Amino acid sequence: MNKFSLIFASVFMLVSIVMGALGAHTFKDILTEQEMASFKTATLFLATQSIGLFIIEIIANTLKMPIKLSSKLLIWGAFLFSFSIYFLLLAKHNNAELLTKFLGPITPIGGVLMIAAWFIFTLKLIKIRTKAQ
C-alpha cells in the first residue's frame, strides 16, 4: 500500500473531525446559515474522500493494480475543495477580499479533480482482470 496516500487519508480524517467539532461549537455563532452549510459540505467531503482514499488503497493492494494517479488526484481534489472553502470563510470574516477572489475558483477545481480521480479509478476497475474471471 502507498504509505503517502494512507498518511493523507489519516490526516484528512483528523482534520475533518477537528473542523466538524469547531463548526459545531465555535463557528456556529460566527457563520451564517449558508456559510455553515458550506463549512459542513467541506467537512463532509474531506471525511468521505479520506475514507475513499483508504478504500482505493485497499482495493488496489488486493487487486495489485496501479492507482497512483487516482490517489494523487483525490488528495489534491479533497485538499483544494475543502481547504479553499475553509479559507474562503475565514477570509470573508477577516475582510480579505483579495484572498476571496483568488480562492473562489479553486473550489470547483478541487471538485473536478475528485471526480476525475473516481472516474479513472472506475476505469481501472473495469479493465482489470481478476482470477475469478
131 pLDDT band, cuts 50/70/90, is low
Closest CA to 78 of 111, 108, 104, 41: 111
Closest CA to 82 of 34, 50, 119: 50
pLDDT averaged over every residue in the chain: 91
- 108 CB neighbour count, 10 Å cutoff: 12
pTM: 0.89
Give per-residue pLDDT as tens, 59-101: 999 988 888 999 999 999 999 999 999 999 988 888 777 788 8
> Which three cell numbers, joined as nine digits, stand for 48?
468521505
Q: Give the whole-angstrom CA distance, residue 12 versus residue 20.
A: 12
Q: Give the whole-angstrom CA distance, residue 12 versus residue 91.
A: 21
Does residue 85 contact residue 121 with C-beta atoms inside 8 Å?
no
Task: Sketch the domain layout of the chain as residue ranges.
Answer: 32-127
Q: Give the whole-angstrom CA distance, residue 1 versus residue 67.
A: 10
Distance separating the N- and C-terminal Cα atoms of the chain: 24
Closest CA to 59 of 122, 133, 132, 131: 122
- The distance of Cα 6 from the centroid of its chain, to the nearest Å, equals 13
